[in-house]
Chains A and B, each alone.
Chain A
Amino acid sequence: GQSLEQPSEVTAVEGAIVQINCTYQTSGFYGLSWYQQHDGGAPTFLSYNALDGLEETGRFSSFLSRSDSYGYLLLQELQMKDSASYFCAVKGNNRLAFGKGNQVVVIP
C-alpha cells in the first residue's frame, strides 16, 4: 500500500523561501511528483523526481531521497500567487497516491 505524510499549513511573507516535506511508504515506487492546487481548481503538475537528487524548475525545486523515502518541494522568492495547497504524490505503476497536502499562505 501507500501512505504519505505532509505537514498541514505554512504562512510566509512574499520573497521568502518555504520547504514542504513529504515522507512516504509504498510497496511500488516509480517517482515522487508535486502538484499545486488553488481553491476550487485542478491539481497542476509542478515537478517529478524519479531519481535521487534535486530538480530545479524556475523558482521551484524538488528533492528526492529514495533510501529515506523522503522528498521536499522548495518554493523560492514567494509570490502572492503561490498561495495554494501543495501535494506530493507517489507514482506507482498505474496510479498517483496523493498526500493530504500542505496549505501555503503568502502574506505581504
Chain B
Amino acid sequence: EPEVTQTPSHQVTQMGQEVILRCVPISNHLYFYWYRQILGQKVEFLVSFYNNEISEKSEIFDDQFSVERPDGSNFTLKIRSTKLEDSAMYFCASSPGTGGSFFGQGTRLTVV
C-alpha cells in the first residue's frame, strides 16, 4: 500500500543550526502538507503546497521556515536557524484532493 515516507526519523540539532526534513509523498497525490506536534499537544498546521507553490501557511510558518519540492518525488521542510521551541514531531502529509490526508511517521526534532 502506498505510504508517505519521512527521513530522518530523529534529528538532534544545536540551536541556531539549519535542518532539512525530508518527505516522499504518495506518488499520485497533488497536495502536500507539513504539520507539527509538540509533545502532549494537538497537531498544528504549518504549510500546504500545491502546483509547486505554497497555497497556505499558518502563523507558525515564519521566515525561518521554507518548503521545496526539488524534484518529482521529494518534499522538504527547512528550518533556517532552529530555536529550542522548534522541538517537536514534524509530520508530512499528502492528499489526492478530496477525502483524507495521509501522514508519514514523522521526524522527531530535538533542538538543544
Q: Is A27 an interface residue (CB 8 A)?
A: no
- From residue B4, how far is it (CB to closest CB) to chain A in Å? 8
How many residues on the B side are at the interface (Cβ–Cβ under 8 A)? 24
- From residue A10, how far is it (CB to closest CB) to chain B in Å? 17
Judged by DSSP, the binding face of B is strand
- From residue B100, how far is it (CB to closest CB) to chain A in Å? 4
Within 8 A of B (CB), among A60-108: 87, 89, 93-101
A42 touching B91 in the complex, CB below 8 Å, given contacts A98-B42, A101-B42: yes
Query: Which of B33, B55, B99: most chain A CB closer than 10 A?
Result: B99
Count of chain A to chain B residue pairs whose CB atoms are closer than 8 Å in the complex: 56
The answer to whether A95 and B103 touch across the interface, beta carbons within 8 angstroms, is: no
Contacts of B103 in A (CB 8 A): 35, 42-45
Bound form: Cα–Cα A96–B31 in Å: 12
Q: Is B45 an interface residue (CB 8 A)?
A: yes
Contacts of A89 in B (CB 8 A): 43
Interchain Cβ contacts under 8 Å between A and B, 24 examples: A33-B100, A35-B100, A41-B105, A42-B103, A43-B43, A45-B99, A45-B103, A46-B100, A48-B99, A50-B98, A87-B43, A93-B55, A94-B50, A94-B55, A95-B33, A95-B48, A95-B56, A96-B33, A97-B45, A98-B42, A98-B44, A98-B45, A100-B41, A100-B42
Chain B residues with CB under 8 Å of chain A are 31, 33, 35, 41-45, 48, 50, 55-56, 58, 91, 93, 98-106
